[in-house]
């Protein structure tokens, strides 16, 4: 059930009209860019959670 967390980055990045805008700026970067870059550590963290929660055989 915890593996469903891995679908969040997919959904968050596939709905482009959600983040296809310039404002707000963050350190001079438009929202379009920093929104996508923010998903990199979020996805890594979610992958870590799923990995630690999964059973390991052997």
- Residuewise pLDDT in 10s, the chain (58 residues): 889 999 999 999 999 999 999 999 999 999 999 999 999 999 999 999 999 998 775 4
Buried b (16+ CB within 10 A) or exposed e, 23-34: eeeeeeeebeeb
Task: Give the global pTM.
Answer: 0.83
Distance (Å, whole) CA 47 – CA 35? 18
Cα angle value 35/39/42 (rounded, 5°): 135
Nearest CA-CA partner of 42 in 3, 8, 1, 19? 8
- What's the confidence (pLDDT) of residue 57? 56
Q: Is residue 58 part of a domain?
A: no
Can you give the residue range of the structural domain that contains 10?
Answer: 2-53
Count: domains in the chain: 1
Q: Tell me, yes or no, whether 21 lies in a domain.
A: yes
């Amino acid at each position: 059930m915890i593996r469903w967390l891995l679908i969040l980055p997919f959904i968050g990045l596939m709905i482009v009209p959600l983040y296809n805008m310039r404002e707000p700026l963050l350190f001079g970067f438009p929202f379009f860019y920093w929104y996508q870059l923010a998903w990199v550590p979020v996805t890594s963290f979610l992958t870590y959670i799923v990995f630690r929660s999964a059973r390991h055989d052997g």
